[in-house]
Amino acid sequence: GADRSVTNWGGGNTSAKAHEVDFRGVETRVLYVKGSGSDLGTIRPEQFTALRLDDAQLLQNRDSMSDEDLVIFYEHAVLRPGQPRASIETPLHSMLPFAHIDHTHPDAIIALCAVPDGPDLARRLWGEKAVWVPWQRPGFGLGKTIAGAVSERPDAECVLMAKHGLVTWGESAEACYAATISTIARAAEALAERADRRRVFASAAPSQAPNERALLAALPVLRGAVSSRQRMVLRVDTSDAAVQFASRPDVADLAQAGPACPDHLVHTKPWPLVLEPDSVGAEAIRERVAAYEKRYAQYVTTCAGGTEQMLDPAPRVVIIPGIGIITTGPDAGRAKIADDLYQRAMAVLSTTAGLGGFAPLTREETFGIEYWPMELYKLSLAPRPKELAGRVALVTGGASGIGRAVAVRLADAGAHIVVADRNAEGAAEVAAALENSNGDGRALAVHMDVTDERAVESAFAKTLLAYGGVDIVVSNAGISTSNPVEATSLDEWNLNQRVLGTGYFLVAREAFRVLKAQGLTGSIVFVASKNGLVGGRNAAAYSSAKALEIHLARCLAEEGGGSGIRVNTVNPDAVLRGSGIWDSGWREQRAQTYGIEPDQLEEHYRARTTLKVNVVPEDVAEAVLFFASDRSAKSTGNILNVDGGVAAAYTR
């Protein structure tokens, strides 16, 4: 599983036969086989299904069995309850007599099994030691076919399945693995010799670097176009292999050949969308995606005759010559899976292109796999989507205090998080913690000084390259100073205006640009302050800047409404815990203003509230989530105070 040129993500299966004492205390022959939906690269022992081998082998006496009956049969044959569903390819593991069996989808074998003269090439390489099996959908029938063919060839060492993959075996795990690797190596060597080059799957470096400006312009438009039914996350692959494949003169034809391996279909669809260099403008992208969806709908209608509910018709793989490969998915993890799988497809298609062409599955065979309930079952194993599934949220000032709490809360609700902060190390720590809790690719740390126009643009560019766009922007980065007006310097005044005014403007402006390009709804949330509504004694610079934020949000709400962009404000007050602001001298300054000691400040703020409570970062994060989510889909230009109740700040 570590080498994806040997095993696809989630594809292939392995098994071992052994003896185990069951719950009755009786020694029982057991077949351990990979459970459906697990991945050989990360599989754990509990993800293998243990079946009573004597029961499983009774299938050999049957002539036929439906997929549904096969699933029920294995549910009764399990050694213990609560195990994963057995792989649909379990019949070949139970019907073959060998102690250890590997079924894989190696690039070299897939290529060999997909060229027109594959059977002849296999015969020249292995003679009678390789069994060639024509295409047959996995399940009972294929297992029966393989078992019968191998029983007639006692000297056979492997099975080559047309358009599918490889089966090898051995009396030990080591022997089985060695057989798998040696068979793959022999196929790769033969293909390399035939293609008259040393490395059949090698990729030369592209002639020039991808056009990043064009890519950044295309990404939000493409994300919006493929997200009409559900929010999608994009993954950008500008590796040498991706750019070279995308830039092939024949890529438009080659990419339409069909799936390189049946296991790819769940994540890549039957064919990718190829955007020609002259079709990467906004309108052209939208038109090409719409045309793709129409073609996909026709494919489903033709093959199903209206009997199947169509899956999301948007492309999962997009090829842009000169730029590379972009994959899409409901989350970053599944977009990466699509990319990993298409990397394998690129290798196979590139190889077969020089060896007589690629013999794909027919349209009907392709549909039969893509809409096969046994394959769709794997999708059902994904966790239920959370409230912010598929959304990308950028949080400024995300390294500490309120910003960190907001990042954690939005991530818990299913969003992908961009942690933006001047404190790059702190942002990286928060992003790492979020990925540890939510999975790889779920968070990104970016350096952002909100007062620096180029830094803001760069942070959004990194967001686009990581996820394709953004849906939620939380402006939270802040600063505070406290001085009587006569002691307030121009530098102090300008600093507050620059961070709290200009900074919020620059972030909002860049957010508007991305959100409008996407053409999807979006939410911008300003974290302002009670001081924006109530004059703060000895805090004119800070309070005035916070009032600026609140009114800027109202103005932006008016501008964004027609594009479905909502802009709202959360007004916290006296959030001391975890705050960099309160640890920067603001605590002492405010305590001096109120004539109390710094350690009395928290109680002072609690006592002055109507509810007699202290406000913590998590309280503010809940309010931000409300405005960020569809719960407030019909709310814009509004203010939500999170202050425990400060009568002077009641909005009117």
Contact 537, 485 (CB under 8 A): no
- The helix, strand and coil proportions of the chain, stated in percent and rounded to the nearest 5, come to 50, 15, 35
d(CA 463, CA 478): 21
Enter the DSSP assignment of 385: P
Q: Supply 393's token pair.
A: 């949220």
Long-range contacts (CB closer than 8 Å, 24 or more residues apart) made by 60-66: 60/94, 60/95, 60/144, 60/147, 62/140, 64/140, 64/141, 65/140, 66/140
Residue ranges in 449-578 assigned as alpha helix (H): 453-467, 490-496, 503-518, 540-560
Residue from 542, 594, 605, 650 carrying the catalytic annotation: 542
d(CA 649, CA 535): 10
Enter the DSSP assignment of 136: -
d(CA 252, CA 273): 9
Active site residue 542: yes
**Residue recorded with tokens 């080059």:** 197
Range list of β-strands (E), 412-500: 416-421, 443-447, 472-475
Longest CA–CA separation in the chain, Å: 99
> What phi and psi, each to the nearest 5 degrees, are found at residue 439?
115, 155
Contact 312, 229 (CB under 8 A): yes
Radius of gyration of the chain (CA): 30
> Residue length, the chain?
652
d(CA 51, CA 33): 8
How many other β-carbons are positioned within 10 Å of the β-carbon of residue 18?
13
Residues involved in catalysis: 542
